[in-house]
Amino acid sequence: MQQAALDEAGIGVRYVRLEVEPGRVGEALGRMRELGFIGCNVTVPHKFEVMGFCDVVDGAAQALGAVNTVSFEAGSTRGSNTDGPGFVRAISDEFGVALEELKVLIVGAGGGAGQALAAQCLIQGVKRLMLVNRTLEKLWPVVARLHRLAAGCEIGVLALEDPVLAEISRSYDLIVNASSVGLKPGEAAVLSAACLRPGQWVYDCVYQSKPTPLLESAAARGCGTADGRSMLIHQGALAFQQWFPGSTPLAAMRAALA
């Protein structure tokens, strides 16, 4: 989708994939700068490590605790994060509602993606947030950081196996799966059908050629559903606009991804 946007705009450069071993991120960034790269996207597992090699990290990336977009500017390397803002736009596009109006429950909140989305919820002004993870130990430092970010939000934590999860989950407006469950064929839904009620919105950051088990279950329960492709498109478009200010890549990206 990035190359399609470049071609549509008549920008004569290539978007390429590079595999970088953990521990060599700084070396890779230095080499890219030498070779005249404009910037790059950063995927797992490098989103945390790359922060230490950016001369400037914007406020949103600092709040989210990770960098997914790097821009090589004159004399400096700038790190930013478009995942959170891309998520906000995806929820608005898919469900026609502003994120800040919703009570949000995030499954897989201990991982990098879950932490970033939780932080974005607070940046947007969400008033009630529930973090769910297989192990609670991973959530305590996350909660401490989130409280520093916005003390006005009611933040709860639950283990995925907690027997009260089903009852509590049904009281939330938006359910987000930020874990990787559903990526592998044959995996069960990350939440049981008992956790869902008609009228909820369910957003699964995992995207496949067919709906994930969670989205199938949610649709059967009468929930509004969407997968992570919309977030993928929006975060990509926001990164593109950082590299090429004034550009409008969204339509080309949508067509290419479709």
pLDDT at 81 over 80: yes
The model carries a pTM of 0.92
Among 203, 163, 208, smallest CA distance to 186 is for 208
Q: Which domain holds residue 197?
A: 84-227
Residues composing the chain: 258
- For the question of residue 47 being annotated catalytic, the response is yes
Residues 95 and 216 both lie in one domain: yes
d(CA 163, CA 106): 17
Does 117 lie in the same domain as 72? no
SS (H, E, C) 224-236: EEEECHHHHHHHH
Number of domains present in the structure of the chain:
2
Least confident of 85-99, 111-125, 222-236: 111-125
* The predicted structure's pLDDT at residue 5: 98
Looking at the chain, the whole-number percentage of residues with pLDDT higher than 70 is 100
Catalytic, out of 47, 138, 184, 210:
47
**Residues 145 and 105 placed together within one structural domain of the fold:** yes
> Do 161 and 146 lie in a common domain?
yes
Residue 150 has pLDDT above 80, yes or no: no
In angstroms, the CA 66 to CA 80 distance is 8
pLDDT at 116: 87
Q: Are strands 128-133 and 76-80 parallel, antiparallel or unpaired?
A: unpaired
Out of 168-172, 204-208, 212-216, 242-246, least confident range: 204-208
Beta bridge partners of 134: none
Same domain, 158 and 220: yes
pLDDT of residue 147: 86
Question: Rounded to whole angstroms, how far apart are CA atoms 164 and 251?
Answer: 43
Spell out the alpha helix ranges (H) of the chain.
2-9, 25-34, 59-64, 83-95, 112-124, 139-149, 165-169, 213-220, 229-243, 250-257
Average pLDDT over residues 14-28: 96
Q: What's the mean pLDDT in 84-101?
A: 96
pLDDT in tens, 230-248: 999 999 999 999 999 999 9
State the CATH number of the domain containing residue 57.
3.40.50.10860
Residues 75 and 99 occupy one common structural domain = no
